[in-house]
Structure 1
Amino acid sequence: MMIELQNVGFAYNNKHTVFSNLNLYIDRGDIVSIVGNSGCGKTTLLNLIAGVLLPSKGEIKKSDKNIAYLMQDVTLLPYRTAWENTFLACELRGIPVDNIQKQAAKEILDLFNIETEALNKFPKELSGGMKQRIGLLQTLLTDASLFLLDEPFNAIDINALNSIKLYIWEYLIKSNKTMIFITHNIDQALLLSDRILIMRSPTELLEIKPTKEYCSLSPDERIDTSEYKKLFFEIVENLKYEK
């Protein structure tokens, strides 16, 4: 067990109920995506798991507190270059930024389509997609046990995205890391995760579970399968559910 939610409820100011009696079990090594209509509470759920928010009721159990959380608004210090910002999360965790860390970052740069000249720029000079790539790199370098990502790919262009998804998938599989990410993009959910959760109401997380054979395929291999098409339409139909 990595995370378990038992009858979790949450209400802002004890008035606006977001969740009521929510239950969820996530095992170590799971790659979980969360999809749902805007305003259904996806980010709130991630904040609860991260410990940014506390539940109004129920219990959240975590077997490992080594968590890295990439929020929608990527944290980059304005007075640091992109390269210097790459190691910000490591520094905040007390992880030494040595030659090993720097070499690990350099090996990922090409896969993330981050050009050398971009590394010398300050955040105000970077595109939204480049900031997001730096944020992803920053998060992965922490080598956390659990990665929480809120819309991590929405500003990244398709050419860079394919290699990024493949790298992240291979990294998670090889290291048995756990990842939970929010997305509005059904393709991203199906190509990267082995569990898809659809938030449909304050009490319901509907799970779409692909077969083991499908989950063993890389993101590039999944898209041409009949199961991909079947799951895609199943998710679309469930997202039409009225809250």
Structure 2
Amino acid sequence: MSFVEITGLSHRFGRDRGGPVLSDVTLSVRRSEFVAVLGPSGCGKSTLLNVLAGLVSPTEGTVTVGDGTVRIGYVFQAPRLLPWRTARRNVEFGLEQTGASRSAVRERAAAALELVHLAEHADKYPNQLSGGMQQRVALARGLAIEPDLLLMDEPFAALDALTRSYLQEELLSLVRRTDSTTILVTHDIDEALLLADRVVVMTQRPARIASIVDVPFGPERSVASLIADERYPELRTSLRELLRPQVTAAAGPSRAQVTADA
């Protein structure tokens, strides 16, 4: 049974002369499923998340999430921490919007920081934390509200490769434990294969769904286990080939083609 149901979704920003950002997107996401959305830059992946979060209204189509009263967590590419609040107080900020008691806010914030291994840094301010630690605070803030739906917009894109790989594995463990339904936007094929149950490949703008690929590796994964799995190289190559025409089209004609056409 689907938890997120997107039907015929299209979106256009005002008088956008570039045409629609999203066009006739239809997708069902099961409860507790982890779905990764891959596509070329600027195709509309973030707009899709914003529609799901209720920040943007679709121009056409419908979006249904649960029974309409679900709690949604959103983790952005930049941590977006409040600089005048400590790590603990930043995590508490999201909880304060839920109307929970002060004692419940404190307890749940502490538990969320423990989940991301930052309990000993709870009283530090953002400028005292590394980029990876700041992103973990942002992740804790998103998880602390115990979301029914967790939306993530390239949360690790700005981090170095080593920090990113650690946080990816950490995220996988956290999401499996909290049982949240998760939709992740990413440019990283390896990240999608490490984390997701299914990968949705989007076309260039206006974004449509080009393909949906099942990921066969099961819930218990690590970077090492994927590399050792003989199915991994073939699936990775398959996704690259699915993305190639979309990225090429989004990039436009090459300099040589432009010269020839002139």
Please state which band the TM-score falls in when normalised by the shorter chain: 0.7 to 0.9
Cα distance change of structure 1 residues 32 and 51 upon mapping to structure 2, 3 Å threshold: same
Among 112, 123, 133, the residue aligned to 1:105:
112
Note if 1:139 corresponds to 2:142.
yes
Note if 1:23 corresponds to 2:26.
yes
- TM-score in terms of structure 1 length: 0.87
Note if 1:77 corresponds to 2:82.
yes
- d(CA) in 1 for partners of 2:191, 2:11: 28
Return the offset for 1:83. 2.6
Give the corresponding residue for 2:231: 227
Cα distance change of structure 1 residues 224 and 83 upon mapping to structure 2, 3 Å threshold: same
Q: What is the 5 A alignment of 1:44-83?
A: 44-64=47-67, 65-83=70-88
- d(CA) in 2 for partners of 1:18, 1:169: 30
Return the offset for 1:138. 1.1
- TM-score in terms of structure 2 length: 0.81
Deviates more, 1:142-151 or 1:163-172: 163-172
Given that residues 67 and 148 in structure 1 are in contact (C-alpha distance below 8 angstroms), is that contact kept between their aligned partners in structure 2? yes
Cα distance change of structure 1 residues 159 and 108 upon mapping to structure 2, 3 Å threshold: farther
Give the corresponding residue for 2:241: 237
Cα distance change of structure 1 residues 225 and 88 upon mapping to structure 2, 3 Å threshold: same
Give the corresponding residue for 2:176: 173
- d(CA) in 2 for partners of 1:22, 1:197: 11
Q: Deviations over 1:142-194 (max 9, x none)?
A: 11111001111123444444443334323333443210011111111110111
Larger Rg: 2
Cα distance change of structure 1 residues 61 and 14 upon mapping to structure 2, 3 Å threshold: farther
Return the offset for 1:23. 0.8
Given that residues 90 and 96 in structure 1 are in contact (C-alpha distance below 8 angstroms), is that contact kept between their aligned partners in structure 2? no
Q: Deviations over 1:95-114 (max 9, x none)?
A: 3453632541353243xxx4
Cα distance change of structure 1 residues 171 and 3 upon mapping to structure 2, 3 Å threshold: same
3-state SS of the aligned residue for 1:48? Answer: helix
Name the aligned partner's letter for residue 74 of structure 1. P
What is the root-mean-square deviation of aligned Cα atoms in Å?
2.2
Name the aligned partner's letter for residue 215 of structure 2. P
Unmatched 5+ stretches in structure 2: 251-262
Cα distance change of structure 1 residues 87 and 156 upon mapping to structure 2, 3 Å threshold: farther
> Which aligned segments of 4 or more residues in structure 1 are displaced greater than 6 angstroms?
none
